Every structure is written in C-alpha cells, then in structure tokens.
Amino acid sequence: MKVIIAGGAGFIGSNLTDYFINRHATVTVIDNLITGKKTNLEQWHAHPRLRFIETDVCDLDISVLPKADRVYHLASPASPIQYKKHPLMTMRANSTGTERLLEFCRRSGSQPFIFTSTSEVYGDPLVHPQVESYWGNVNPVGVRSCYDESKRYAEALAVNYQRKYRLDVRIARLFNTYGPRMEKNDGRVVSNFIMQAITQQPITIYGDGQQTRSFCYVDDMVNALAALGDQEKLSETIINLGNPHEITISQLATIIKTLTGSRSKIVTQPIGADDPKKRQPDITKAKRYLNWQPTIGLETGLKKTIAYFQNHYRN
C-alpha cells in the first residue's frame, strides 16, 4: 500500500507514519518542519519505504508524488499557541495546502483523501456533546479564527471536490489528543501540566478551571485514522474522532500532579479569548461506521505520556 501523509513529522502525523511503516506500507511524508520535527521520524532514517519531502504543502510540486492508495492531510499547526504564532501559515496550510492535495488526488486518481479537521469547527459549542450535524458557534474574526475558520473552509473545499469530481473524501474532526511526541512547549494543556509537574513549577490553570475537554490518547487516534482510510466504502463523510471521557481542567491538573508525585502548586492565570467552555465528542458514528472506539483510559495514557516527557525533556 502507498500512503501520503502531509504533516507526517508532527505529533499525530509521525505516530501515523510509524503505524503504516510498521504495516509494510510505503509512506511519503510531506512536512515543512514548522511545528513537526525530523527527530520524530529518526527511527526510520534511510528506511527504503519512507520518503521525506521537506516542503510547505502549499508549494508542493504534485508531479513528484506517487499515485497513492490514500492521502492524509495533517499539515497544520494545531496547538493554540502555535497557530496564534503562525496565523497566516495556518490559514494557507488549510486552504491552499488542502487545495493542492485535492488537486493531486483528482489528477492522479489517488483516494480516499482524508482531511484531519478539528473539534474547533464547533467553536464554543451550544450543543453538548458535539454531534457531526451541529454547525458550530465560531467567532469568524477571533484569535482562534485562523485555525477554526480555515479548517471549516477546508471541509467545504473537500466536500465540493467530492460533489463536483466524485472524489472519495473523508473528514475526521479530531478532538483533543495527547501522548508521546507532543512538544514540551507547544502550549497545550497536557504538555504544559506535565512539564510543570515534573520540573516542580506551578501548574497554570487558565480561568476557573471549570472548562472541560475530553482527551484521546494518540494510539487510539492513530487507529481511528487508519480505520477511516480502511473502509471500502463510507456513506458518511464527516466523523468525530476523540475520547468522550470529559473532565474539567482543574481535575486534569490534580490527576497529573498525583501521577507525577509533584510538589507543584496549582495556580490560576487569566484565560484567553474565545476559549471554549466545554467539549466532548459524540462518537456514535465512529463506533458504527469505523467499528472504533478508544481503548486507552486517561490514567494509562497519561502515565505513558509522563514517561515519555521524563525520558525526552527532563534535561
């Protein structure tokens, strides 16, 4: 099998690359290394079935790509700190970048095209848990808009390619995901709290900590993305992927403090604009159409993530 993974040197992308190399696929990774890292793929250095193309997906010369059995598009900054730092690049990766890959798929006959969208398309949701049919509550000009609106645009682009060219398009809306290869300083809550806990720094809760999130371990997410590509035919185009176990950010701080045996104090800091108050995926569709559901509980996943952080980022 031939697989193309745009963003394959990033956190989820590199775990997905591992998955396919381990299953004897030939993988072409496209990454500009803005937020991805070559070291995430160093275990495959000079591997005959991994080809790495260092380029921005927007500037991709699609004539150099092999026809593929599936094309994943994960190339975008994904943590709030990163996309706020690179707002225009984020918008380009999801608009021009998505169009380039869709054009490649259309011209070469490579399909399915699997786009990793986000729970952020639901904005600060007024429907809970979030079902795929919910249109969302997004601030189109807010600080998160570079990410959520460009993902919404990419979804619209992909479904219109599907309508116009009958391209097999599949859209995964990923909810918060954590695990090994998260960047220690990408600003996400799990990486922040673990780093703070293992270095005995204050654990920073933004706001009152009553906002909720639902955290999915990366291996579960990778299995879901693989299952999404595996289906012969899929009558549903858009599928939420995530772990429905919902907790408050305060609870998360306490769990991480306990699991690390940290002496860190838990402190509060002002919350950023447009921070969603709650988020929980409805995964009925993923269960029905992909026969998938998460299997790794929060404590188990956090223990593995903490071990990775202790081994890689402690010094």
260 is a site residue for ligand UDP (CB under 6 A): no
Q: Which amino acid is residue 75, in one-letter code?
A: A
- The Cβ-side half-sphere exposure at 82, using a 13 Å CA radius, reads 20
Q: Which of 19, 72, 147, 217 is catalytic?
A: 147
Count the residues in the chain. 315
- Near ligand UDP by CB under 6 A, which window of 29-37, 63-71, 184-192, 228-236? 184-192
68 is a site residue for ligand UDP (CB under 6 A): no
- Near ligand UDP by CB under 6 A, which window of 66-74, 121-129, 181-189, 306-314? 181-189
Q: Which of 80, 112, 179, 229 touches ligand UDP by CB under 6 A? A: 80
- Separation CA 32–CA 113 (nearest Å): 20
Active site residue 19: no
Q: Which of 176, 177, 243, 280 touches ligand UDP by CB under 6 A? A: 176
What residue has token string 């030939």? Answer: 26
174 is a site residue for ligand UDP (CB under 6 A): no
Residues 197-226 binding ligand UDP (CB under 6 A) are 204-206, 211, 213
User: Cα angle at 171 between 166 and 173, to 5 degrees?
Assistant: 165
- Separation CA 100–CA 128 (nearest Å): 34
What is the greatest pairwise CA distance in the chain?
58
- Separation CA 72–CA 229 (nearest Å): 9
- Near ligand UDP by CB under 6 A, which window of 22-30, 148-156, 188-196, 220-228? 188-196
271 is a site residue for ligand UDP (CB under 6 A): yes
173 is a site residue for ligand UDP (CB under 6 A): no
